[in-house]
Amino acid sequence: MSAAVERRLALFRAARRSPAVSPRPAEPPGKAAAPEAAEGERAAGPGGSAEVSAEARPGGAAAPVWARPLLLKVLLWAVLLALFAELELGLPYFVLSLLYWMYAGTRGPAERRRGELSAYSVFNPGCAAIAGTLTAEQLERELYYRPAAGR
């Protein structure tokens, strides 16, 4: 290994041992990984090795664009849509895709976070309604006991 890589590795190990002082202000993980990756690519040079860029983004580096699951799923869906369109089955594939996305996008009651209320009050403890819910009692009060607007 080159001296520059060994020096960066020593600085990284020293920083991991003493978490009290950080040389940079705290940044979100996505923003902190990008400058470090760029530094590693510059240090590697045009014919540099991949080890330098791997050392430049230790620990929580962002995954490459091609390795993100959502992007891969969208690309696979688009390729399949093109294939089914070629077979003249594009519309059924699109409609079935939408139905699947609606099904997959709904969460079951077990996936609800602790203390989170459902939009349907019958599923909440004690039938508690969320803020902004129009109840039958409120609707009756507004219809029967309030004069109509403009009269």
Which has more confidence, 34 or 127? 127
pLDDT number for residue 131: 84
Per-residue pLDDT averaged across 4-17, rounded? 84
pLDDT number for residue 59: 59
pLDDT in tens, 90-119: 999 999 999 998 888 787 667 777 878 888
pLDDT number for residue 95: 96
pLDDT in tens, 43-93: 444 444 444 444 444 556 677 777 788 899 999 999 999 999 999 999 999
- Here the tokens at position 19 are 């978490």
- Note whether 52 and 40 are within 8 A (CB): yes
Q: What is the pTM of this model?
A: 0.38
Nearest CA-CA partner of 120 in 132, 134, 130: 130
CA angle 51, 56, 60 (to 5 degrees): 110
Q: How much is the CA Rg of the chain, to the nearest whole Å? A: 28
Cα dist from 61 to 7, 108, 118, whole Å:
20, 32, 36
pLDDT in tens, 130-145: 888 888 888 888 888 7
pLDDT number for residue 43: 47
pLDDT number for residue 61: 67
pLDDT number for residue 135: 82
pLDDT number for residue 147: 58
C-alpha 54/C-alpha 40 separation (Å) is 8
